[in-house]
Structure 1
Amino acid sequence: MQRYSILWADDEIDLLKPHIMFLEKKGYDVTPVNSGADAIDKVSQQSFDIIFLDENMPGMTGLETLSYIKSSKPNQPVVMITKSEEEHIMEEAIGSKIADYLIKPLNPNQILLSVKKILDNKRLVSEKTNMNYQQEFRNISMMVSDSRDYQDWVEIYKKLVYWELEIMTADTGSMGEVLTMQKDEANSNFSKFIIDNYEDWLNDPKADKPLLSHQLMKKKVFPLLKEKEPVFFIVIDNLRYDQWKSIEPLVTEYLSVEEDDTYFSILPTTTAYARNAIFSGMMPDKMAKIYPDLWRGDDEDEGKNLYEEDFLKRQLKQNGLADTKFSYNKVIHTSQGKSVNDSLNNLLNNDLNVVVYNFVDMLSHARTEVEMLKELAPDESAYRSIAKSWFVHSPLFELLKRLSEKKCKVVISTDHGTIRVRRPFKIIGDRNVNTNLRYKQGKNLNWDGNHVLEARHPDKFGLPKLNVSTAYVFALEDHFFAYPNNYNYYVNYYRDTFQHGGISLEEIIIPVVTLGNK
């Protein structure tokens, strides 16, 4: 077992001998000194795992010693010890990035707790996380086997995300592999659940169903307009639930969470279908039929989400909100985000402000195409980290900070999630079949195996069809479609990339969060 070294500086160090002996019996090597100057000399000669500094030493005070040590070793853990409870001393010590603050008289267990918290924190957290997940593993497995409705699946997915973030933070090694296996099992069962229930959600008025894409604004955004405060509806394209939970602590420093909810993306889980459904308030087949001037199908080269503002305007009118004063902004580049922020005072005069951020979707596509990004984000944890890093430095975070100072409501959501695909699935289609790797739409589609959901009757799925024999096929779990010709190229290029359009927990169960001022 590793022996840690401690430097303890106190002008009454002889009176602390019982505490020093206690630490030495616990396996720590303690070097005692009588002054700040002696502490600085020792620090210049050797390294210590932790330093205890008495604040009220004659000559060089503890705070002065702390400042000197931090200037040469900024990452050195230091515990400040003092008889004084004066607030300004505490604030100055904390501002100097101390590791802990203890007030005399000391007791041995108080000192030991401080040492363990600083030196053994990572190991203790890792061991505790391992033990807790092992206990929870069986419960989650039983929930997966016994799941009956969509609420069960929301709870299962939230638990899996919670443990994924905990295990990542605790760096528990092999437990991550166990969790991945459990997620795979959950996704397999979830895919079966969607196959069994999705059509009923769309066609049976009595079916127990989740909130779906085309109902999102009517249920989560429009009711807030009655409160007579500006509402900001922020759609972060491709934001998974786990990515939201990783940035949530940053957001809640400024805004309070009034409702932390989820909803289910419609199929296909893509921008063209799911996001247009959000803004139109309709399923895709109705969009294509009622608004042929706005709908763009898979057979058209034009961008699929160019008319969101028009869809929104018509949805407002359909819901008796034609007089709603609203704005719509799509942010692809940082300059566009800054422009939105610069116009905030004007936006606050609107009833509703919609801001669509495309970064996370762009990140997933760029990671597929740019080798360096694959290296930077080789797995789920790194992918979350890059998305979080973007958020921290984004105009969006700045916008949320500024909104926290205004009287308004904020709804953050997304159109669909994404999954890291690992298993290729052979499919055959003609040249008119769409290029998405997680769903195919066309005629004369052929495949071997059962890792798909087939929609031979698109109208039952709320989907338009180009001709009588049009069908949709959705990939399940972490499969991705590959053509037999160029099969090896597809597999090598797209395996381990993040894709969307199919059926998985990550793509379908997505966040919708209502925030207010603290």
Structure 2
Amino acid sequence: MSQINILWVDDEIESLKSQIIFLESKGYKVSALTNGYDALEFLKEQVVDVVLLDESMPGITGLETLGKIKEIDQQIPVVMITKNEAENVMDDAIGSQITDYLIKPVNPNQVLLSLKKIIDNKRLVAEKTTSAYQQQFRTLFMALNSNPDYNEWMDIYKKLVYWEMEMSKTDSPEMLEVFNTQKAEANTEFAKYISRHYADWLHPKAQDAPIMSHTLFRDKIVPMLDPAVPNVFLLIDNLRYDQFKAILPIFQESFRLVEEDTFYSILPTSTQYSRNAVFAGLLPIDIEQKFPQEWKNDDEEGGKNLYEEKFFAAQLQRLRMDSRFSYTKVVNHADAQQMLSNIHNLLDYPLSIIVYNFVDMLSHARTEMEVLKELAGDETSYRSITASWFEHSPLHQALKKLSDKKINLILATDHGSVRVKTPVKVIGDKQTTTNLRYKHGRNLNYDPKEVLAFRDPKDAGLPRPNVNSSYIFAREDGYLCYPNNYNYFVNYYRNTFQHGGISLEEMIVPVARMVSK
């Protein structure tokens, strides 16, 4: 490691010589100055890794010096060292973005610990993460091979997401490769599990099935509702569990997390099917039967998610619940601004629905736009761009406006997405649908080992658009491509985020309850 340069600024620097010698014995290079003016001039000329700054100095105080240091270099870590324990001084220092705060008299080990925390933090975190994952690898391996049930699969996926997010803090390509192999194995086993059990879950007399899209509201959200305060049910479209974990800290600035859970999206894991199922409280086959005019199959003209409000009103009626609710759907910037302006109106209803479409638009735009492929090239950057969007979004502003009132906020999604890497060849006629993760049509030709097929759509709770229609679902990281123009489409869609098929990322999705702080 190259030598670390420390600048120590204190008007009593002579009394700190033993401390400086101690730090130099640990390999640090320490430059010592007695006032803020000299420190600022020094920083304009020299590269410094950390500044140790006394708060009480004649001429220009530590806090004043701190402000000017940040003007020179916003990123430089500054450790404030002071005799003054007054709360307002600490508040001012923290507000001015100090990295650490030490109270005099400080001993050498205190200073050393602070420096290690700042300089070595990334390396130490990476080493600890790698070591901890190595210990967990066998536990996860055994869990994958012990015939897990649907609850255990949710637990496995949560652990994988935890380690994936921890691994993003390290720079160990070898460990990341080991992790990615384990995650791929998990998705292979999960696809086999879904192939064996999915149809059984949908049987009307199923004894044991997870909470899924069509039972989410009745079995999970209704028990979360609070009759004493306004309830807001926020559905962010296409939000993976790892993206939820990335934006959760931003929510927690204004709300207290009460409950966090996951549920299973139905197949296809796409908006038209899973989101309609959430609001209708019905499987697509039953929605088509009850609402023949409103339900549109993939190959029919017209919007596929235009009647969620009507479906939801009917579900409330079936559940014999208070039928008063507001419904807001945001699909563009104008909708978002209107929602922000009217957000306090939600407090007039016992239940308000907000459907927010940004993440789904992001995944589609990422497929089409080269700049977004660059910005969201992998899972880490996809999480990062989602968190950045949410932090600066009208949605976040709107929720902050509500957070000073007593509300009950329930956050969920309809499905997730997966980064596709493996092309799967499918032959179909002109009526075959275009989705890359599932298809239905009359004359589908495919390798049965590469997909999950339902020759009778009723077995998957799905409508039958035509007499001989069957459905197929891509598994793991596969994407369905036609033989014509095969190489072009293979290259165009590889490494894009898609949804509609069978993977942990698409099917196991978040639901959480938060309350105002």
Question: How big is the shift at 1:198?
Answer: 0.7
Q: Which has the higher mean CA deviation after the structures are superposed, 307-316 or 332-341?
A: 332-341
Q: Structure 1: how far apart are the matches of 2:312 and 2:44?
A: 66
1:24-423 equivalent positions in 2, closer than 5 A = 24-203=24-203, 205-225=205-225, 227-321=227-321, 323-423=322-422
In 2: Cα distance, 1:101 partner to 1:254 partner: 26
C-alpha distance after superposition, 1:469-512 (max 9, x if no partner): 22111110000111112211220111111111110000000001
Give the equivalent residue in structure 2 for 1:432.
431
Return the letter of the residue paired with 1:256: R
Hey, what's the Cα distance between the residues in 1 that align with 2:466 and 2:77? 69
Distance 2:365 2:37 in 1: 54
Decide whether the 8 Å contact of 1:324 with 1:352 is kept in 2: no
CA deviation after TM superposition for structure 1 residue 449, in Å: 4.9
State the secondary structure of the residue aligned to 1:428. Answer: coil
What letter is aligned with 1:196?
A: R
Alignment CA distance shift 1:228-1:366 (3 Å): same
Work out the CA distance in 2 between the residues paired with 1:225 and 1:2: 56
- Asked whether the 8 Å contact 1:3–1:28 carries over to 2, the reply is yes
In 2, are the aligned partners of 1:262 and 1:511 still within 8 Å (CA)?
Answer: yes
Find the aligned partners of 1:241 and 1:496 in 2 and give their Cα distance.
19
How far 1:324 moved relative to its partner? 1.9
How has the CA–CA distance of structure 1 residues 432 and 121 changed in structure 2, closer, same or farther, with 3 Å as cutoff?
A: same
Q: Structure 1: how far apart are the matches of 2:65 and 2:285? A: 72
SS in 2 for 1:128: helix
Segments of structure 1 that go 5 or more residues without pairing to the other structure are: none
Partner of 1:462: 461
Post-superposition shift, 1:14?
2.2
Partners of 1:230 and 1:350 within 8 A in 2: yes
Q: Which amino acid is 1:79 matched to?
A: V
Contact 1:476 1:503 in 2 (8 A): yes
> Structure 2 counterpart of 1:276, which letter?
N
| SS, match of residue 426 in structure 2 | strand
Range with greater deviation from structure 2 (71-80 or 144-153): 71-80
Distance 1:224 1:6 in 2: 53
User: Secondary structure in 1 aligned to 2:168?
Assistant: helix
After superposition, the Cα gap between the structure-2 partners of 1:44 and 1:495, relative to the gap in structure 1 and judged at 3 Å, is: closer
Task: Give secondary structure in 2 for the equivalent of 1:496.
Answer: coil
Amino acid aligned to 2:260: D
Amino acid at match of 2:386: A
Residue 11 of structure 1 is matched in structure 2 by 11
Task: Using the TM superposition, give the Cα deviation of residue 94 of structure 1 relative to its aligned residue in structure 2, in angstroms.
Answer: 1.7
Structure 1 window deviating more from structure 2 (496-505 vs 452-461): it is 452-461
> d(CA) in 2 for partners of 1:163 and 1:434?
36
- C-alpha distance after superposition, 1:400-448 (max 9, x if no partner): 1122112221111111101111111111111111111111111121112
- Residues 50-70 of structure 1 show CA distances to partners (whole Å, capped at 9, x for unaligned) of 121222223333223323333
State the secondary structure of the residue aligned to 2:429.
coil
Offset of residue 257 of structure 1: 1.1
1:206 Cα shift?
4.7
Classify the secondary structure of the residue corresponding to 2:30.
strand
Q: Contact (CA 8 Å) 1:324, 1:351: kept in 2 or not? A: no
Q: State the alpha-carbon separation in 2 of the partners of residues 41 and 191 from structure 1.
A: 63
**SS of the counterpart of 2:248?**
helix
Q: Could you tell me how far apart the structure 1 residues matched to 2:223 and 2:189 are? A: 35
For residue 67 of structure 1, give the secondary structure of its aligned residue in structure 2: helix
Rounded to whole Å, the distance in 1 between the matches of 2:222 and 2:178 is 42
TM-score by length of 2: 0.96
User: Is the CA contact (8 Å cut-off) linking 2:269 and 2:500 kept in structure 1?
Assistant: yes
Residue type of the alignment partner of 2:504: L
The verdict on how the C-alpha distance between 1:86 and 1:470 changes in structure 2, with shifts beyond 3 A counting, is: same
- Count residues with an aligned counterpart: 517
**Whole-angstrom CA distance in 1 between matches of 2:401 and 2:61:** 41
| Structure 1 pair 346–94 and aligned structure 2 pair: CA distance change class (3 A) | closer
The runs of at least 4 consecutive aligned structure 1 residues that moved more than 4 Å come to none
CA–CA distance in structure 2, aligned partners of residues 331 and 117 of structure 1: 43
Secondary structure, in 3 states, of the residue corresponding to 1:233?
strand
Closer, same or farther: CA 224–28 of 1 in aligned 2, 3 Å? closer
- Provide the C-alpha distance between the structure 2 equivalents of 1:75 and 1:298, rounded to a whole number of angstroms: 51
Letter in 2 for 1:159: K
* Cα distance change on mapping 1:35 and 1:394 into 2, 3 Å: closer
